[in-house]
Amino acid sequence: MKIQIAGPGCPRCNQTEKSVVAACAELNLTADISHIRDPEEMAKLGVMMTPAVIVDGKIISSGKIPTVEELKKLLSELASK
């Protein structure tokens, strides 16, 4: 599973990245996690609002800091597919 956090590196984006890492750890989910800070790259991915969480090319959260519990629910649903 490839997870990308899109955002300029602001505190909200950094918190989102920490939440993604925590959710993956709690689920024992192995994922390739990266942070995209380049506005052009974010635009290519279709990100309109940051922070955004992108899993395997699909935006699952945008414009808010998702909680660890929200992320666990979304990631476990995606992992079971």
pTM of the model: 0.94
What domains, with CATH codes, occur in the chain?
2-79 (3.40.30.10)
| Contact residues for 2 (Cβ-Cβ < 8 A; gap 6+) | 31, 32, 34, 55, 56, 57
Catalytic residue from among 3, 13, 23, 52: 13
Q: Is 24 part of the annotated catalytic residue set?
A: no
10 tagged catalytic: yes
HSE of 34 in the Cβ direction (CA atoms, 13 Å)? 10
**So what's the pLDDT on residue 25?**
96
The secondary element (H helix, E strand) that includes residue 21 is helix 11-27
pLDDT digits (tens, 9 = 90+) for 12-55: 999 999 999 999 999 999 999 999 999 999 999 999 999 999 99
**pLDDT at residue 80, as a whole number:** 82
